[in-house]
């Protein structure tokens, strides 16, 4: 087991005079108890584990030493080139261009080197707009909704401050994002009150008078400490074997995890709805623009775009909207739920995203190409990994640490055929439509596969999946050549061309 998996040793006690016992509580929520003969050995082992599991320097972490024989170092790092994705959008619409204004990470340290911005706005304007946003995160394109040409933008909060500062460049940037006469929506992931209060700290939110073409909506989401506490409480409740039936429900309730889930899905749906139904452009931001903002933009894309629901498309989405977008994984996913250390920066915002995707998969069992297992693997690897993919807080840091040169990419491992097979949903069929989930409390469930993974046996459920796999494959391998079969199963569009056309027309 990777030592970094263990956030801390819960307890060490003397079992007998000649042996000791160590309880290890791991970041993937597993709990292990080791009985070690010899008190001296026990102490030594626990000291070593403690030291090794709390390596501070990124460069000393395991990915820098992990050298599997079957993989080449550079593989995988170029699997989802951001520039390519953006270039594609730029060629499809003349209104957007690739900008390298952040080439040296000087304009915005948490943005990647290349970003996509309105063609009408030059790099100088961008630099000025960046100074008007927390951490320099000026509005950039996050997703282009091909169906109706609307775009999803994201940024951090504007630095309006108590004196109601304005920034003409920022206003210019935002109005350039809209076509003439169009109106857009700004979805602030804080409550109206919190957004207003942020002015006292130098932040704030776009005012109607300065941004007349934009209409503001609020979808308040929790982040930071309260979210981490919610995670800790939920894991505690799941592990508490003494709970009776009614106390279980109130513990589940008081963890608030499901409420956060409902909030995240609702806000993402609101953003998606603005784009798909109102045919309007959307800008999402909270405060820093690195947490709830990314949660909303990434989720909205899974809901809207069938490409993001494929195995590789989903990996590309994570690369674009989480890793390159500067979600501070190193800070957020350091210790997981068992740690008592009150780390200010720790928060399971990415886990919340994975849980939302799991809920989507439960409500639309045919529409995601990947299965629960992939989500579990991603959860594990954000907290402790042999691969460099989730290391550091931003592209800038990854460059400094030479992550791409000195570690392996998680994607190249996941995309090996043997791994891919494990992560495919046997029920998947391409679904071109938007998947609107239900966010009623009755429709959301505790993600048992993750939170109860080490607590209850999943044997019977695994057997059921094996049975599903068996049914589907036996259908595919049925009498005829399997090639013909696969085709009909995975590419139904070919057989339904008129449906595609209708969709195109409607959009």
Partner 1 sequence: MEHIRMPKVENVRLIDRISSRKAVLGTLYLTATHVIFVENVSETRKETWVLHSQISSIEKQATTATGCPLLIRCKNFQIIQLIIPQERDCHDVYISLIRLARPVKYEELYCFSFNPKLDKEEREQGWKLVGLKEEYNRMGVPNNYWQISDVNRDYQVCDSYPAEVYVPKSATAHVIVGSSKFRSRRRFPALSYYCKDNNASICRSSQPLSGFSARCLEDEQMLQAIRKANPGSNFIYVVDTRPKLNAMANRAAGKGYENEDNYSNIKFQFIGIENIHVMRSSLQKMLEVCELRSPSMSDFLWGLENSGWLKHIKAIMDAGIFIAKAVAEEGVSVLVHCSDGWDRTAQVCSVASLLLDPFYRTMKGFMVLIEKDWVSFGHKFNHRYGNLDGDPKEISPVIDQFIECVWQLMEQFPCAFEFNERFLIHIQHHIYSCQFGNFLCNSQKERRELKIQERTYSLWAHLWKNRADYMNPLYREDHSQTQGTLRPQTAPCNFLYKFWNGMYNRFEKGMHPRQSVTDYLMAVKEETQQLEEELEVLEERLAELKKVQLNNRKQNSKQQDRNKHIELSTSNNSIANTPQDYSSNVKSFPSRSPSQGDEEDSALILTQDNLKSSDPDLSATSDQESGVEDLSCRSPSGGGCLPSEDSGKDSDEAVFLTV
**Residues in region 98-137 near partner 1 by CB under 8 A:** none
Q: Which of 262, 335, 398, 423 binds partner 1 (CB under 8 A)?
A: 262
Q: Which of 252, 311, 347, 403 binds partner 1 (CB under 8 A)?
A: 252
Q: Is 380 in the site for partner 1 (CB under 8 A)?
A: no
Over the window 424 to 463, marking each residue x when it contacts partner 1 by CB under 8 A and - when it does not, the resulting string is: ---x-xxx-xxxx-xxxxxxxxx-x---x--xxx--xx-x
Q: Is 270 in the site for partner 1 (CB under 8 A)?
A: yes
Q: Is 229 in the site for partner 1 (CB under 8 A)?
A: no
Contact yes or no for 288/379 (Cβ under 8 A): no
Window 173-212: residues binding partner 1 (CB under 8 A): none
Q: Is 497 in the site for partner 1 (CB under 8 A)?
A: no
Sign of the C-alpha dihedral computed for residues 420, 425, 431 and 437 taken in this order: negative
Contact yes or no for 301/359 (Cβ under 8 A): no
Nearest distance from C-beta of residue 205 to partner 1, angstroms:
14
Q: Is 246 in the site for partner 1 (CB under 8 A)?
A: yes
Cα 216 to the center of its chain, rounded Å: 24
Partners of residue 11 on adjacent β-strands: 23
Kindly indicate which of the ranges 83-91, 131-139, 234-242, 331-339 contains the residues binding partner 1, using the contact rule CB under 8 A.
234-242
Pick 79 or 243: Cβ nearer partner 1? 243
Pick 113 or 217: Cβ nearer partner 1? 217
Alpha helices in 336-385 (DSSP H): 349-363, 372-383
Contact yes or no for 73/118 (Cβ under 8 A): no
Q: Is 467 in the site for partner 1 (CB under 8 A)?
A: yes
Over the window 386 to 425, marking each residue x when it contacts partner 1 by CB under 8 A and - when it does not, the resulting string is: ----------------------------------------
- H or E element: which one contains 262? helix 257-276
Q: Is 308 in the site for partner 1 (CB under 8 A)?
A: no
Antiparallel, parallel or unpaired: β 150-154 and 281-285: parallel
Q: Which of 163, 241, 421, 497 binds partner 1 (CB under 8 A)?
A: 241
Detail the DSSP E strand segments found in 165-208.
184-188
Q: Which of 165, 215, 225, 373 binds partner 1 (CB under 8 A)?
A: 215
Q: Is 220 in the site for partner 1 (CB under 8 A)?
A: yes
Task: Give the separation between CA 436 and CA 150, rounded to whole angstroms.
Answer: 18
Q: Is 35 in the site for partner 1 (CB under 8 A)?
A: no
112 backbone dihedrals φ, ψ, rounded to 5°: -75, 175
Half-sphere exposure of 106 (CA within 13 A, CB side): 8
17 backbone dihedrals φ, ψ, rounded to 5°: -60, -25
């Amino acid at each position: 087991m990777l030592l970094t998996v263990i956030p801390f040793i819960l307890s060490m006690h003397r079992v007998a005079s000649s042996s000791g016992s160590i309880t290890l509580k791991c970041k993937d929520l597993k709990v292990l108890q080791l009985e070690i003969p010899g008190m001296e050995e026990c102490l030594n082992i626990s000291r070593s584990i403690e030291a090794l599991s709390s390596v501070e320097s990124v460069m000393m972490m395991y990915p820098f030493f992990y050298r599997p024989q079957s993989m080449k170092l550079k593989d995988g790092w170029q699997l989802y080139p951001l520039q390519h994705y953006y270039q594609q959008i730029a060629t499809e619409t003349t209104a957007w261009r690739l900008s390298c204004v952040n080439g040296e990470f000087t304009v915005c340290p948490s943005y990647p080197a290349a970003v996509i911005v309105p063609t009408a706005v030059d790099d100088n304007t961008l630099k000025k707009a960046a100074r008007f946003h927390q951490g320099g995160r000026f509005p950039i394109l996050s997703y282009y909704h091909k169906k109706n040409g609307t775009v999803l933008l994201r940024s951090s909060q504007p630095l309006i401050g108590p004196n109601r500062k304005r920034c003409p460049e920022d206003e210019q940037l935002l109005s350039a994002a809209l076509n003439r006469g169009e109106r857009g929506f700004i979805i602030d992931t804080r409550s109206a009150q919190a957004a207003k209060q942020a002015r006292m700290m130098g932040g704030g939110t776009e005012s109607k008078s300065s941004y007349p073409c934009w209409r503001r909506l609020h979808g308040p989401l929790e982040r930071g400490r309260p979210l981490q506490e919610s995670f800790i409480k939920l894991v505690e409740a799941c592990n508490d074997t003494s709970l009776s039936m009614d106390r279980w429900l109130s513990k589940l309730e008081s963890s608030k995890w499901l409420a956060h889930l409902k909030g995240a899905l609702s806000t993402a749906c609101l953003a998606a709805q603005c784009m798909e139904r109102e045919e309007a452009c959307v800008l999402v931001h909270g405060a820093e623009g690195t947490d709830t903002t990314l949660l909303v933009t990434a989720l909205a894309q899974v809901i809207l775009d069938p490409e993001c629901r494929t195995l590789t498309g989903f990996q590309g989405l994570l690369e674009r909207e989480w890793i390159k977008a500067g979600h501070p994984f190193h800070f957020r996913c350091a210790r997981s739920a068992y740690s008592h250390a009150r780390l200010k920066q720790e928060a399971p915002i990415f886990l919340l995203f994975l849980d939302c995707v799991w809920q989507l998969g439960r409500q639309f069992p045919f529409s995601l190409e990947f299965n629960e297992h992939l989500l579990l693997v991603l959860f594990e690897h954000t907290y402790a990994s042999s691969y460099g993919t989730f290391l550091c807080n931003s592209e800038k840091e990854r460059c400094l640490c030479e992550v791409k040169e000195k570690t392996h990419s998680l994607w190249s491992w996941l995309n090996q055929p043997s791994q891919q097979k494990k992560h495919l949903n046997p029920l998947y069929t391409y679904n071109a439509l938007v998947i609107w989930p239900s966010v009623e409390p009755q429709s959301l469930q505790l993600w048992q596969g993750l939170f109860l993974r080490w607590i209850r046996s999943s044997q019977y459920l695994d057997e059921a999946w094996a049975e599903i796999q068996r049914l589907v494959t036996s259908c595919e391998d049925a009498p005829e050549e399997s090639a013909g079969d696969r085709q009909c199963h995975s590419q139904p569009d070919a057989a339904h061309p008129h449906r595609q056309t209708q969709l195109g027309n409607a959009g």
